[in-house]
Chain A
Amino acid sequence: MEAYLGIDVGSVTTKVVLIDRHGNVLWNSYNKTMGQPIKAIQSAFSVLRRDVGDIEIRGVGTTGSGRKLADYIVGADQIKNEITAHAVSAIHLIPNVRTIVEIGGQDSKLILIRNGVVVDFSMNTVCAAGTGSFLEHQATRLGMAIEELGNYALAASSPARIAGRCTVFAESDMIHKQQMGHNLEDIVAGLCDALVRNYLNNLSRGKEISDPVIFQGGVAANPGIKASFERELGKEFIVPHYYPIMGAIGAALLSRNTKHTRFRGWSLSEKQLSTSSFYCSDCPNACGVMQINDCDAVIARWGDTCGKWGRREG
């Protein structure tokens, strides 16, 4: 069987998909990165090989903040930023899509599409108040699993108004609202509203959100957020079946035009790879240089400003 591989290494989760020439998803996985992206890719690969058996990889695409790292390990034909990757998969799925709202673990994006091409976008990577890790943190604090959050929100009768400009404020305001006696459902719904307000304040200034809107990324799992968006904007938010792995699908789709893949085969992914880092002291930049080691040999380095370390070895 011939297939294309898409790998999305995000700061919170790592997604791997296998698609056929037409873009149908054959296999996929979604795991926490846990600060160890190499391990996350390797374990996804071993499950993939067990599940799928013999396949011929014709192309590999990587995306996400760890896209370069993933390339070093597996050998990629397309190394794409998350914005393009997300747009490509959404357009493939719904050709007339006009807006993509994507909220992941650490960052969120708004992408505007007209006639099948990206015309504008914005991305927020600094403030976590509008992202998945914030929601997860709050769910833990309220003693519920992140999956339950949405159902609580949907059961609310009058959402509490939570000041959510930043995580710290939102948290103290939630505690305040709890103490005032608001019920849990209303607080959770208020939390969803706060996240949505945050997203819109940060990303959609001066940008027109028009139908059809696709909502993807890990946070799209939460029906409470979807409901808040729909209430706030009066528009339907379509959550695609593969919402959490759309970036990986986009990367795989882009790799379909590969003639000779640079894929290094599965063996490298079974090696004992480790990462290490050091601070260069050759100039005041003091760059934090990262390296991947295969036993004692360094197979890749990056993170330097001047490029003296960054050339790939081996």
Chain B
Amino acid sequence: MKNQRIGIPRGLLYYSYAESWKLFFRELGCEVIISPETHADILREGIRHATGDFCLPVKTFLGHVALLKDSVDLLFIPRYVSVERESFMCPKMIGLPDVVRACFTNLPGIVDPVFHVKQFGDKAIHEFTKPIAKAISLPHPDVYTLFKKNMNSGAEISGEQHRLSERLLSEGGTILSSHRKMNIGIVGRPYLLFDRHLSKNLFNCIRDLNANPIFIKPAEPDIREAMAVIPKWVYWDMGKEVVTSAHQFFKDDRIDGVINVCSSTCGPDSFTGDLIRKRLNQRNKPYMALSIDEHASDVGIQTRIEAFIDMISKVTA
């Protein structure tokens, strides 16, 4: 069946896989409807529908579901359990389709395929695409092929930030000179960093203070190197990227300070935050954990960022 309207809530893994999901469904002949960028009403709706004390990104996700659910035929809420053999997604992500079902009545159909490399190994994509094929009534082999073809398209925003950051770093020269702009390494989960409402427009805020926000997507060898420094492999997905970026930033002389944007009620973030602070910052580089919750005011965040940049510049009277 073609021309189904597939709704994708703009939250959580959307910020990691948006591009590949969009391409995939469009090529399958579906109409893809994506909720708009988070705004105050979406967050409010999410908080209202949350039946438990979920973290801020999950509450936000629920707000996007609320906005989409009545205007689509199907909601795409995949259940990512593990994207590689030795790591797991956060439990809230694993249970996401169940959380959504528990918080709403009158939902459209939900396509919730399971992505579980630890269990299915090489067959993970095969298993993942089965329920999708069924939901949109297309032959499984075609769906499988299309997904495979598009799966590495990733996400636009983080990729763009990454390319911009690499350019800035190469232009900025490798030596610390007093004339160059300050480079602030930003680490955190994409769905918090790149949701401009949740992160209070962090990237722009830093640019307004005449500094460069730098975001990198670490490569496989970098991850292995960072994991060797800490006592134990980080088995939370995204946690590895967060820890590795922090490690890279701490040892890179072109980076003047590191901000770890975390959600105040995120379990994995509290572990990685501790690891970063205690184990990785051996050179005592300026570091700040910027914890975000639904009460955080724009002014409060702005004040912290300003103070952090003053701290790096060693402002005195």
Whether the Cβ atoms of B201 and A118 lie closer than 8 Å is: no
Instruction: Knowing A284-B39, A284-B41, A285-B40 are in contact, say whether A121-B307 is a contact too (CB < 8 A).
Output: yes
Whether the Cβ atoms of A88 and B41 lie closer than 8 Å is: no
Whether the Cβ atoms of A83 and B303 lie closer than 8 Å is: yes
**Closest chain B CB from A10 CB (angstroms):** 11
Q: Does B277 contact A (CB under 8 A)?
A: yes
- Inside 8 A of B40's CB, which chain A residues have their CB? 284-286
Interface string of A93-114 (1 = CB under 8 A from B): 0000000000000010000000
Closest to B315 in A: A84
Which segment, of A167-175, A233-241, A250-258, faces chain B?
A: A250-258
Whether the Cβ atoms of A117 and B314 lie closer than 8 Å is: yes
Which segment, of B150-158, B178-186, B290-298, faces chain A?
A: B290-298
- Inside 8 A of A91's CB, which chain B residues have their CB? 316-317
Q: Does A262 contact B (CB under 8 A)?
A: no
Give the complex CA separation of A284 and B42 in angstroms.
Answer: 9
**Closest chain A CB from B158 CB (angstroms):** 21
Whether the Cβ atoms of B311 and A256 lie closer than 8 Å is: no
Whether the Cβ atoms of B317 and A88 lie closer than 8 Å is: yes
Q: Does A123 contact B (CB under 8 A)?
A: yes
- Inside 8 A of B149's CB, which chain A residues have their CB? none
Closest to B293 in A: A126
Closest to B278 in A: A206
Whether the Cβ atoms of B201 and A65 lie closer than 8 Å is: no
Q: Does B221 contact A (CB under 8 A)?
A: no
Whether the Cβ atoms of B299 and A65 lie closer than 8 Å is: yes
- A84 contacts which of B286, B293, B299, B310 (Cβ < 8 Å)? B310
Q: Does A116 contact B (CB under 8 A)?
A: yes
- Inside 8 A of A82's CB, which chain B residues have their CB? 303, 307
Q: Does A92 contact B (CB under 8 A)?
A: yes
**Closest chain B CB from A67 CB (angstroms):** 9
- A88 contacts which of B286, B293, B302, B316 (Cβ < 8 Å)? B316
Q: Does A267 contact B (CB under 8 A)?
A: no
Q: Does B160 contact A (CB under 8 A)?
A: no
**Closest chain A CB from B286 CB (angstroms):** 8
- Inside 8 A of A107's CB, which chain B residues have their CB? 300
The A interface is mostly helix, strand or loop, or mixed, namely mixed
Chain B interface category by residue count:
20 to 34
Q: Does B304 contact A (CB under 8 A)?
A: yes
Q: Does B27 contact A (CB under 8 A)?
A: no
- Inside 8 A of B314's CB, which chain A residues have their CB? 117-118
Q: Which residues, 71 to 97 on B, are CB-close (under 8 Å) to A?
A: none
The residue among B42, B297, B315 with the most chain A CB atoms within 10 A of its own CB is B315
Closest to A82 in B: B303
Whether the Cβ atoms of A121 and B41 lie closer than 8 Å is: no
Whether the Cβ atoms of A254 and B317 lie closer than 8 Å is: yes
Q: Does B36 contact A (CB under 8 A)?
A: yes
Q: Does B306 contact A (CB under 8 A)?
A: yes
Give the complex CA separation of A286 and B293 in angstroms.
Answer: 20
Q: Which residues, 162 to 199 on B, are CB-close (under 8 Å) to A?
A: 197
**Closest chain B CB from A156 CB (angstroms):** 33
- Inside 8 A of B299's CB, which chain A residues have their CB? 65
Closest to A91 in B: B316
Q: Does A272 contact B (CB under 8 A)?
A: no
- Inside 8 A of A157's CB, which chain B residues have their CB? none
- Inside 8 A of A81's CB, which chain B residues have their CB? 302-304, 306-307, 310
Q: Does A305 contact B (CB under 8 A)?
A: yes
- Inside 8 A of B286's CB, which chain A residues have their CB? 119
Give the complex CA separation of A254 and B317 in angstroms.
Answer: 5
**Closest chain A CB from B40 CB (angstroms):** 6
Q: Which residues, 125 to 143 on B, are CB-close (under 8 Å) to A?
A: none
Whether the Cβ atoms of A118 and B317 lie closer than 8 Å is: no
Give the complex CA separation of A125 and B42 in angstroms.
Answer: 23
Whether the Cβ atoms of B39 and A286 lie closer than 8 Å is: yes
Q: Which residues, 30 to 56 on B, are CB-close (under 8 Å) to A?
A: 36, 39-42
14 contacts between A and B (CB under 8 A): A65-B303, A80-B306, A81-B303, A84-B306, A88-B316, A89-B317, A117-B316, A118-B314, A119-B311, A123-B300, A206-B274, A253-B317, A284-B36, A285-B40
Which 9 A-B residue pairs are closest in the complex by CB-CB distance? A83-B307, A253-B317, A125-B300, A81-B306, A84-B310, A284-B39, A81-B303, A118-B311, A117-B314
B: residues with CB less than 8 A from A are 36, 39-42, 197, 201, 274, 277-278, 286, 293, 295-297, 299-300, 302-304, 306-307, 310-311, 314-317
Known: A83-B306, A206-B277, A286-B40. 14 other contacts (CB 8 A): A80-B306, A80-B310, A82-B307, A88-B316, A88-B317, A118-B307, A118-B314, A123-B300, A126-B296, A126-B300, A256-B317, A283-B39, A284-B40, A285-B40
A: residues with CB less than 8 A from B are 23, 65, 80-84, 88-89, 91-92, 107, 116-121, 123, 125-126, 206, 250, 253-254, 256, 283-286, 305
